[in-house]
């Protein structure tokens, strides 16, 4: 345990920003865009975040969606035009990251890692904000900000995803991202309006958050986890086959070298010149090592699903106990 703690303390820590402050208007724009995309065509919604950095605080003051996949639109040119027009109307136009929608918290993918690496290497303070549409629709606003860890940036910089390289960098699915606390800030007038709207909402409107139906949600989570486990098992089988092939090749190489040594000894005894070992080594080409990036990502997805199932079951048990107490109180009155 002590050696593990020392190893964790020796890893570099990202202290660029301590927390993210997001304006309520920018948050509502992200929420609206993500829900529209999930309802219309079930595609992942993505967009740019605009704002500025103040000391160790990243302020997100505005955002705009990325254009849909269309060959006629240059995405980079579109973003530059949007930021140029925002600057003309005196709106914060500095690019500070991007946002993306997620399905039940499952946002980890090679595409997201690649995109955040390019963002973070070009804009040091940039973050990716993940909005979970399904959890938010059930009454739990899920808006989280992430940054790549220094180990993950070093991994992508070297472009070496072999087991040896990942072990040297001490990179795993647990330390690919670091979560940055995010705070939503509203103006005083907006807070007053929200207080008035809260009083106007009927009490019955919140009863659907006490829904005790858990079968569909658990089934969806478990099916997704089963798919990821099958994918991880496929990756493990692929890596085991590589290890078996490498062992067989090494054994064959040792056998050939031993035979080569015997042949050289016979040649020397006859007064002939010995043959160099390089001739034997040329016969055995190194077997390419399968990349370990995808298994690491799949492991992170399985961990995310497991955490969501545990959290959901805890919340469901709390609802059941609360419902039981209410029913017992009702029975005692009768």
Query: Are 165 and 155 within 8 A, CB to CB?
Result: yes
The Cα–Cα gap between 69 and 78 comes to 12
DSSP letters of 243-294?
HHHHHHHHHHHHHHHHHHHHHHHHHHHHTPPPPPTHHHHTT-PPPPPPPSHH
Compute the distance between CA of residue 103 and CA of residue 42 in angstroms, rounded to an integer.
10
Q: Contact 64/48 with Cβ under 8 angstroms?
A: yes
Q: What is the pTM of this model?
A: 0.76
Q: Which of 229, 232, 224 is nearest to 309 (CA)?
A: 224
- pLDDT tens, residue by residue, 249-263: 888 888 888 887 888
Return d(Cα 206, Cα 292) in angstroms, integer.
46
Give the tens place of pLDDT for each residue, 5-41.
444 444 555 667 889 999 988 999 999 998 888 877 6
pLDDT band, very low/low/confident/very high, at 99 (cuts 50, 70, 90): very high
Mean pLDDT for the chain overall:
81
**CA 306 to mean position of chain CA atoms:** 15
Instruction: Kindly report which listed range (36-40, 116-120, 145-149) carries the lowest average pLDDT score.
Output: 36-40
The predicted model gives 298-317 an average pLDDT of 83
Q: What per-residue confidence (pLDDT) applies to 73?
A: 67
pLDDT at 3: 43
How far apart CA 112 and CA 97 sit, in angstroms, is 12
Q: Which CATH architecture has domain 19-210?
A: 3-Layer(aba) Sandwich (3.40)
Locus of tokens 């910089």: 157
Q: Which residue has the higher pLDDT, 142 or 241?
A: 241
The residue written with tokens 């990243």 in the block is 58
Q: What are the tokens at 186?
A: 């509203």
Structure tokens at 246: 């490498």
């Amino acid at each position: 345990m002590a050696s593990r703690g020392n190893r964790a303390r020796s890893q570099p820590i990202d202290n660029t920003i301590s927390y993210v402050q997001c304006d309520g208007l920018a948050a509502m724009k992200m929420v609206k865009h993500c829900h529209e995309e999930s309802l219309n065509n079930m595609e992942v919604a993505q967009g740019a975040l605009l704002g500025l950095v103040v000391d160790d605080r990243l302020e997100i003051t505005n955002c705009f969606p990325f254009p849909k996949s269309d060959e006629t639109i240059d995405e980079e040119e579109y973003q530059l035009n949007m930021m140029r027009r925002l600057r003309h109307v005196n709106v914060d136009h500095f690019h500070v990251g991007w946002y993306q929608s997620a399905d039940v918290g499952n946002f980890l993918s090679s595409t997201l890692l690649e995109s955040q690496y390019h963002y973070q290497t070009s804009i040091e303070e940039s973050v990716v904000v993940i909005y979970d549409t399904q959890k938010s629709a059930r009454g739990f606003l899920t808006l989280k900000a992430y940054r790549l860890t220094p180990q993950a940036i070093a991994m992508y910089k070297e472009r070496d995803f072999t087991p040896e390289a990942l072990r040297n960098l001490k990179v795993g699915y647990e330390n690919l991202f670091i979560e940055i606390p995010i705070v939503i800030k509203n103006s005083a007038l907006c807070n007053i309006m929200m207080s008035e709207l809260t009083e106007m909402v009927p009490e019955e409107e919140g009863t659907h958050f006490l829904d005790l139906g858990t079968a569909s949600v658990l089934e969806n989570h478990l099916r997704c986890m089963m798919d990821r486990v099958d994918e991880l098992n496929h990756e493990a089988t692929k890596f085991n086959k590589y290890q078996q092939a490498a062992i067989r090749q090494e054994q064959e190489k040792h056998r050939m070298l031993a035979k080569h040594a015997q042949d050289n000894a016979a040649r020397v005894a006859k007064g002939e010149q010995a043959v160099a070992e390089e001739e034997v080594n040329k016969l055995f080409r190194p077997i390419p090592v399968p990349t370990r990036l995808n298994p690491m990502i799949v492991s992170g997805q399985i961990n995310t699903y497991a955490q969501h199932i545990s959290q959901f079951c805890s919340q469901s048990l709390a609802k059941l106990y609360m419902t039981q107490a209410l029913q017992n109180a009702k029975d005692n009155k009768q």
